[in-house]
Chain A
Amino acid sequence: EVHLVESGGGLAQAGGSLRLSCAASGFPFSGYWMSWVRQAPGKGLEWVANIKQDGSEREYVDSVKGRFTISRDNAKNSLFLQLNNLRVEDTAVYYCARESAHYSQCDNWGQGTLVTVSS
């Protein structure tokens, strides 16, 4: 069974940093693109970033370019999202998800980790 578990969320000040992690199990992690998706409180879903199987390609939504960095460690079946220069509007639940089809269609999701940015 596919299992994705996020961690690393919490409270940060505007301008600060956090590092999110996602532990994957139950599937060949190195064989899949992976995504991060976020959801602000009471709002819709927003795709944030994704990374190719070997880490050689990464894409980001415009609002986080230059501030967030996605990475992975296939030896440890782990996905990461480094959040720098945080803004209040980055407050959201961040989900790790496994891509199963083109353009970040995701078939398995973690339970999410909450990031709260205070001013």
Chain B
Amino acid sequence: EIVLTQSPVTLSLSPGERATLSCRASQSVGNYLAWYQQKPGQAPRLLIYDASNRATGVPARFSGSGSGTDFTLTISSLEPDDFAVYYCQRRAFGGGTKVEIK
């Protein structure tokens, strides 16, 4: 069973700053990795699929990179709407990273 470990658990940043979120797999997953955003009381929203492809309607400030065991979600300049919890997934989900306002 592949385990995904996300870091950091919490990221405190200000609007306009760059956010870098990490997801590490316990064994290679190729490029089969997705990233989701979830806000309180809402269903998850797909941001990135197959490690680096933006889903329909996702702003260009969101980008994904990596392959094998190490992956990164980057938000180039945080907007107020971006403060949320982010999950990586390759069937099983990582534990999540909360991006909060500093």
Question: In the bound complex, what is the Cα–Cα distance between A24 and B63 (angstroms)?
Answer: 30
**Beta-carbon contact of B43 and A112 below 8 Å:** yes
A-side interface size class: 20 to 34
For the complex, count residues of B whose C-beta is within 8 A of A.
24
Question: In the bound complex, what is the Cα–Cα distance between A1 and B7 (angstroms)?
Answer: 35
B29: chain A residues at CB < 8 Å are 103
Question: In the bound complex, what is the Cα–Cα distance between A112 and B42 (angstroms)?
Answer: 9
Asked if A45 meets B50 with Cβ closer than 8 Å, knowing A103-B32, A105-B32, the reply is no
* A-B interface contact total, Cβ < 8 Å: 60
**Beta-carbon contact of A110 and B43 below 8 Å:** yes
A44: chain B residues at CB < 8 Å are 87, 93-96
Question: In the bound complex, what is the Cα–Cα distance between A54 and B50 (angstroms)?
Answer: 24
A107: chain B residues at CB < 8 Å are 46, 49, 55-56
Q: Decide if B60 is an interface residue (CB 8 Å cutoff).
A: no
Q: Among B33, B56, B93, which residue has its beta carbon within 8 angstroms of that of A47?
A: B93
Q: Decide if B39 is an interface residue (CB 8 Å cutoff).
A: no
Which residue of chain A has the shortest Cβ distance to B42 in the bound complex? A111
**Beta-carbon contact of A106 and B46 below 8 Å:** yes
Question: In the bound complex, what is the Cα–Cα distance between A44 and B4 (angstroms)?
Answer: 12
Q: Mark B72-100, 1 if CB is under 8 A from A, else 0.
A: 00000000000000010111111110000
Which residue of chain A has the shortest Cβ distance to B30 in the bound complex? A102
Which residue of chain A has the shortest Cβ distance to B48 in the bound complex? A105
**Beta-carbon contact of A101 and B34 below 8 Å:** yes
Could you jot down 17 A-B contacts, CB within 8 Å? A37-B44, A45-B96, A46-B93, A47-B93, A100-B49, A103-B29, A103-B89, A104-B89, A105-B33, A105-B46, A106-B44, A106-B46, A107-B46, A107-B55, A107-B56, A110-B43, A111-B43
Beyond the given A44-B87, A45-B38, A107-B55, please list 19 additional residue pairs across the A-B interface where CB-CB is below 8 A.
A37-B93, A44-B93, A45-B87, A45-B89, A45-B93, A46-B93, A95-B43, A101-B32, A101-B50, A102-B32, A103-B29, A103-B32, A105-B33, A105-B34, A105-B89, A107-B56, A108-B46, A109-B44, A111-B43
